[in-house]
Amino acid sequence: MKTIKSILFLAITLLLTTTSCRTEDDLSIDAPSETVLLVNTNLAVQMRNVAKNDGSVDNIVYNANCFTIQLPIMATINGVSITITDITDYDDLEDILDEFDDDDDYIDIDFPVTIILSDYTEIQINSLNELEDYADDCNDEDKDDDDIECIDFVYPIAASVFNTNNEVISTITFNNDSDLYEFIDDLDEDDLVGFDFPISLTLADGNEFVVNNFDDLEDAIDEYEDDCDEDDDYDYNDDDCNDCSPNQLESVLTACDGWHIDELERNDNDLEDNFSGYLFNFSDDGNVTVTWGNEEASGTWSIEGTGNNITVTFNIPGFDDINDTWNLQEIEVESDDDDNEAEVSFEIGDDDELEFVNDNCF
């Protein structure tokens, strides 16, 4: 008489579909937790949430973090027509939105479109009013949602299923999140599921690793599920420094002399014209020198944090409009035949902006 464990092992090993006669005593055997996934357990919920559709990936198009709009999308942004066919096209959309800082950005989506809910249900939307109705059901941007975005499965993944009601063993291959989500969501209490380990996982920083059983998988999700910024808010500009580091910022600012202020806004006042002709030179010992005409001033600058949470504090006597702790927003360096420009942007909250530009450095 076979045990559940041996049956699952046989299913995973042989990858066959087969049938077995079992007695009532067999149905009471406790399957080992490290080899069988049961419905409504913590691990089953975690795996489903890892596989759930991330609705925040296209928040730049429409502020709704509980669904995505199926690509391609045709839209008009500030009078510019654009077709978005891939998520990388969102970068082009952001460039259009960032072209001018003092305009009112507006995205006009061409309907109908299809939205994909967190459970991969697809719904055709025929108007902006319909889209807004579904968006109203989303979480507030400051409220955490259930999907786990900081860790992902690497596909394909194979599993074997044994159902104690109809005595069927079968094998299934999952090729994407949608397949896995639907499978786990449809499990019932009579289903026993064994997965083919090892399973590979990818973290938000791109690092990949393997787990060898369900216990290791549950531990990994517990450890990494909150290990990144899931970017569920509606500020499309707050993730431009995913790969920024203090060393990178220091290297860029100290690589060349003669940085000038291209933008400075404090309390809704544009102040960059007040610094026309002022040149800033940063050194790696934390000092900064400002020259204009025959005048010169010296002060300090310091960096803390990493990624999207890097802050820079300026302290230059007489430069009260600049002296503050700023959040690094973006580092852009372009070096080619047509353009050799570097830009470093900072912000405080949603209103105050500071941008240094160097036109002849890289």
Sequence spans of domains, the chain: 4-51+149-224, 67-135, 246-358
The predicted model gives 95-105 an average pLDDT of 67
Mind listing the pLDDT tens digit for each residue in 191-219? 788 899 999 999 988 899 999 999 999 99
Instruction: Check residue 306 and give its pLDDT.
Output: 84
CA-to-CA distance for 16 and 217, rounded, in angstroms?
A: 25
- Is 278 in contact with 261 (CB distance < 8 Å)? yes
Question: Any idea what the Cα angle at residue 48 is, between residues 147 and 61, rounded to 5°?
Answer: 35
For residue 37, give the nearest of 213, 208, 241 by alpha carbon.
213
- Is 340 in contact with 334 (CB distance < 8 Å)? yes
- Indicate the fold that domain 246-358 takes in CATH: Lipocalin (2.40.128)
Which residues, at least 6 apart from 73, have a Cβ–Cβ distance to it below 8 Å? 61, 83, 84, 109, 110, 113
Task: Report which of residues 101 and 40 the model is more confident about.
Answer: 40
CA-to-CA distance for 354 and 263, rounded, in angstroms?
A: 5
Mind listing the pLDDT tens digit for each residue in 125-136? 999 999 999 999
Which residues, at least 6 apart from 273, have a Cβ–Cβ distance to it below 8 Å? none
Task: Report which of residues 258 and 360 the model is more confident about.
Answer: 258
Mind listing the pLDDT tens digit for each residue in 150-172? 999 999 999 988 756 545 478 89
The yes-or-no verdict on residue 25 having pLDDT over 50 is no
Report the share of the chain in percent with pLDDT over 70. 81
Instruction: Check residue 122 and give its pLDDT.
Output: 97
Average pLDDT score, the chain: 83
Matching residue, tokens 């108007």: 127
The yes-or-no verdict on residue 31 having pLDDT over 50 is no
CA-to-CA distance for 21 and 167, rounded, in angstroms?
A: 7
Instruction: Check residue 7 and give its pLDDT.
Output: 35
The predicted model gives 229-246 an average pLDDT of 73
The predicted model gives 238-262 an average pLDDT of 88
CA-to-CA distance for 352 and 267, rounded, in angstroms?
A: 6
The yes-or-no verdict on residue 333 having pLDDT over 60 is yes
Name which of 138-152, 292-306, 310-324, 341-355 the model is least confident about. 138-152
- Is 38 in contact with 190 (CB distance < 8 Å)? no
Using pLDDT thresholds of 50, 70 and 90, give the confidence band for residue 8: very low
The predicted model gives 224-237 an average pLDDT of 76
- Is 151 in contact with 230 (CB distance < 8 Å)? no
Task: Report which of residues 104 and 310 the model is more confident about.
Answer: 310
The predicted model gives 135-145 an average pLDDT of 73
Q: Hey, what are 315's tokens? A: 């302290």
Task: Report which of residues 45 and 7 the model is more confident about.
Answer: 45
pTM exceeds 0.75: no
The predicted model gives 104-121 an average pLDDT of 91
The yes-or-no verdict on residue 28 having pLDDT over 50 is no
Cα torsion angle, 31, 36, 39, 42, sign: positive
